[in-house]
Amino acid sequence: GSENTNLPAYVVMHGKKPRGGDPVWSSGFLPSVYQATALDPRQAKPIDNLQRSGELTDPQQRSLLDALRAANNRHAKTRPFDRDLTARLESFELAYRMQVAAPEAFDIGRETKQTQEAYGLNTPESKDYGRQCLTARRLIERGVRF
């Protein structure tokens, strides 16, 4: 489980995918609700496809998710043992909540200049690693596991 319902329970940070790809950090035999969320804090958008479409307002998106949940709940009643369907529903809801919580969590610009320098963000040699460490600290403070 997660200590924070607005951020993923488990994340993995990477620059390049490791040999073997995504299965290295997959949930394996566990239900897909335990799958890691991959992120790269060196990028402007650490998590792909997290921003809401500019064409949707928040109430419109909430309405769409509610309709999707209702349809999937009806579908799930005919498949009571389909854990992937349940995990998919939860991932949609988590993504919706993350659209608000994640930008703040990833905004290392909120840290003081002194803190940013302590993490090496002022030197090219350590900037990428420092961003990963600082982002990890910010996520851990918010209850996210690695």
pLDDT digits (tens, 9 = 90+) for 78-136: 887 777 777 788 888 888 899 889 999 999 999 999 999 999 999 999 999 999 999 99
CB atoms within 10 A of CB 3: 11
Do 6 and 138 meet the contact criterion of CB atoms below 8 Å apart? Answer: no
| Domain annotation covers residue 29 | yes
**SS3 state at 39:** strand
The range of the structural domain enclosing residue 80 comes to 11-141
- Of 22-36, 52-66, 70-84, which has the strongest mean pLDDT? 52-66
Domain count, the chain: 1
Whether residue 146 is contained in a domain is answered as no
Domain presence at residue 100 = yes
Decide if 1 is inside a domain: no
Q: Does residue 5 belong to any structural domain of this protein?
A: no
Residue 86 resides in a domain: yes
Q: What is the pLDDT of residue 4?
A: 86
| Size of the chain in residues | 146
Residue 6 lies in a domain: no
H-helix or E-strand spanning residue 138:
helix 124-141
User: What is the gyration radius of the CA atoms in the chain, in angstroms?
Assistant: 17
In a domain, 116, yes or no: yes
* pTM confidence score: 0.79
